[in-house]
A and B are shown apart, each in its own frame.
Chain A
Amino acid sequence: MKQMINLLVLPLLIPLVTAALLIFLPKSIRVQRAVSVVSAIGTLAASIVLLLTVKDNGIQTVNVGSWDAPFGITLVSDTLSALLVTTSSLITLSVILYSFRSIGEARERFYYYPIVQFLLVGVNGAFTTGDIFNLFVFFEVMLMASYVLIVIGGTKIQLRESIKYILVNVISSALFVIAVAMLYSVVGSLNMADISQRIAQIGSLPILTVIAVLFLIVFGLKGAIFPLYFWLPGSYYAPPVPVLALFGSLLTKVGVYSILRSYSLFFYHDQAFTHELLGILAIITIIVGCIGAIAYWDVKKIIIYNIIIAVGVLTFGISVATEESYMGTVFYTIHDMIVKAALFLLIGVMIKITGTNDLRKMGGLMKKYPLLGWTFLVAAFALAGIPPLSGFVGKLLIVRGGLAEGAYVGSLIVLLSSLVVLYSVIKIFMNGFWKAPKDYPGEENQPVLSLWAPGALLVLASILYGVGAEVMYPIISQATDALVHPAIYIDAVLKE
């Protein structure tokens, strides 16, 4: 059989077609669920095939509409984006499975599943595109879907927080357009490979540093780095748990990915300023996240602040900008996406059982739900980065990269932040699962096992990812190559 040249379109196309089809049958929930699951499995399968193809045959590109790069839109799937697409497809599958028993019929009847598919289109598209304006469009697809998901259900807190969320994101989208306009006026191209090439030709103009910082502000607002994270704790607190799991694991990572892509592909000429700035912001982001993670007794809030810590760690890895730290960043991004989604789903089960978010009102869950307890403990250890589990390798590489470049303060803070992360999640474990068992009204009616299974699936993926680091290593190192040597990416796109 001839090789299929459109393979990398499939992880975008499958959810898009599904979303369009699901619009026709909003009221038949069973059909919605069945189609969603089948399509999510299909997307995951397509992205795995894509990952294997990229691994064996190198970077895959498709010039949309047969217009050659840099004149048309090019979709580019290098190992990094194929990895991220696979991870997000896996997470979406688990979240859809979790939603069956938790999101409630009222939301399911109101286009919940099509919107989740649209979110996946946006996320996968943002990871796959090779055109800066197309990246903006996929950001908007993702954000529009997230606006609906944050407000669907229409409770008071959701309405209040969605206004903030939309306001912040509309402003950051406007800034994105302005930044793209400035970049276009300087280099005259929108194709990312072509932009990189032209920037390399004109060298380090001061205006490019300004644009780099503008892009940092834009992507920092999406990815929640200090001081642009202020909207996140409130907004993420509002929606129900499965939506929160999608947001927490996918949305901020798209911002981090965009920083990683733009800072490794375009703006690597004036590192003394841009990467230094990124490094300082990353360190403060970690500290702010740590303070939040310690301060709260609310399970959702604790994990939400852990998102901010992780964003800080990742951006620190990007700011060091060596092969080792990039590799650590890639390792850690995928680990963090999986394990954050798992943690959100697991605390969602705890909230369902106990009927409260407040850790002080929980206790003694271990007696009745040992499976849930041990799964949570494994996820907690993975998050903190305890050796055979998945958080370890990434953080180790980031810290080693930082130390090798003389960024001692940052590396030390990354290490200390692990302690805080461990403390904050073990606080959930000790207060929620230990202590004297309590009776919670209505806990018998909760479908604990079917809610636990999707979370456990992700924990299993995280364990395999950590234990199989040896297998993942060549793939990740291939992903890092294209980051360290932009020429690989440029040659693949422009075919010179």
Chain B
Amino acid sequence: MKTNDVILQTTSKVVFFIIILFAIHLFFAGHYHPGGGFVGGLMTSGALVLLLLAFDIKTVAKGFPIDYKILIGIGLLFAIGTAAGALVFNVPFFTHVFGDVYLPIFGETSLHTAMLFDLGVYLVVIGVTMTIIQTIGESE
């Protein structure tokens, strides 16, 4: 008899978005509250793992056609780029800049280049976690 996962799959689809939103919240909260790139990235991969549990590797790979190893490379470049940007201005390596910027919808927002570094961490964490899980899952 073929098992039917309809309840698991339907709830996963809904819960997936809640987890993703929470992960993004954690990622952006990092500067002033607990959170940041690492836990945000882990939470995002957690959401993807939930989909992997509810569906199978091929379906998820079809939904998210991402090569996670490439994601690691992109994340690393983001992090290194943020740090190495200092070289252009001849200030010490890793010097960050920040400022309050007026954005149309958000209003007065403080932006900090540390966020770009965090984005790098976020991408690397997702890339590494998903690479590990997919590689182990696919190997016979």
Query: Which residue of chain A is the closest to B84 with respect to CB atoms?
Result: A13
CA distance A6 to B69 in the complex (A): 30
Residue in B73, B86, B96 whose beta carbon sits within 8 Å of that of A24 in the complex: B73
Band of interface residues on B: 10 to 19
A34 within 8 A of partner (CB): no
B residues in contact with A5, CB < 8 Å: 90-92
Stretch at the interface among A15-23, A313-321, A433-441: A15-23
Knowing A20-B76, A20-B80, A65-B96, the reply to whether A6 touches B70 (Cβ < 8 A) is no
Closest to B124 in A: A20
Please indicate the chain B residues that have their CB under 8 angstroms from the CB of A9 in the complex. 87, 93
In angstroms, Cα B86 to Cα A119, docked, is 24
Contact with B along A45-74 (1 / 0, CB 8 A): 000000000000000001111100000000
Complex-state Cα separation, A16 to B79, whole angstroms: 11
Please tell me which one of the listed residues B69, B72, B80, B91 contacts residue A16 in the complex, with CB atoms under 8 A apart. B80
Secondary structure type dominating chain B contacts: helix
CB of B28 closer than 8 Å to a CB of A: no
Asked whether A65 and B84 contact (CB < 8 A) given A21-B73, A23-B70, A24-B73, the answer is no
Chain A interfacial residues counted at CB < 8 A: 20
Selected contact of B80 from candidates A4, A6, A17, CB within 8 Å: A17
Picked from A20, A26, A64, the residue with its CB within 8 Å of the CB of B94 is A64
- Bound complex: CA of A259 vs CA of B114, how far in Å? 35
CB distance from B11 to the nearest CB of A (A): 36
Question: Of all chain B residues, which has the CB nearest A13?
Answer: B84
Instruction: Check: A2 CB closer than 8 A to any chain B CB.
Output: yes
What is the total of A-B residue contacts with beta carbons within 8 Å? 52
Closest to A74 in B: B92
Indicate if B52 sits at the interface (CB-CB under 8 A). no
Residues of chain A within 8 A of B129, CB atoms compared: none
Q: How far is the CA of A24 from the CA of B77 in the complex (A)?
A: 11
* B134 touches A (CB below 8 Å): no
Contact between A6 and B87, CB atoms less than 8 A apart:
yes
- Measured CB to CB, the nearest residue on chain A to B67 is A24
Chain B residues near A24: list those with CB within 8 A.
70, 73
Q: Is the CB of B84 within 8 A of A17?
A: yes
A6: chain B residues within 8 A (beta carbon): 86-87, 90, 92-93
Task: Name the interface residues of A1-45: CB closer than 8 Å to any CB of B.
Answer: 2, 4-6, 9, 13, 16-17, 19-21, 23-24, 26
User: Which chain A residues lie closer than 8 Å to B94 at the CB level?
Assistant: 64-65
* A64 and B69 contact, Cβ closer than 8 Å, known pairs A13-B84, A17-B80, A20-B76: no
How far does the Cβ of A118 sit from chain B's closest Cβ, in whole Å? 10
> Cα distance A63–B93 when bound, in Å?
8
CA of A69 to CA of B90, assembled, Å: 19
Bound: A23/B67 CA distance, A = 11
Q: Which A residues contact B (CB, under 8 angstroms)?
A: 2, 4-6, 9, 13, 16-17, 19-21, 23-24, 26, 62-66, 75
Give me 15 A-to-B residue pairs in the complex whose CB atoms sit less than 8 angstroms apart, sorted by A's number: A5-B91, A5-B92, A6-B87, A9-B87, A13-B80, A13-B84, A16-B80, A17-B84, A23-B72, A23-B76, A62-B92, A62-B93, A64-B92, A65-B92, A66-B91
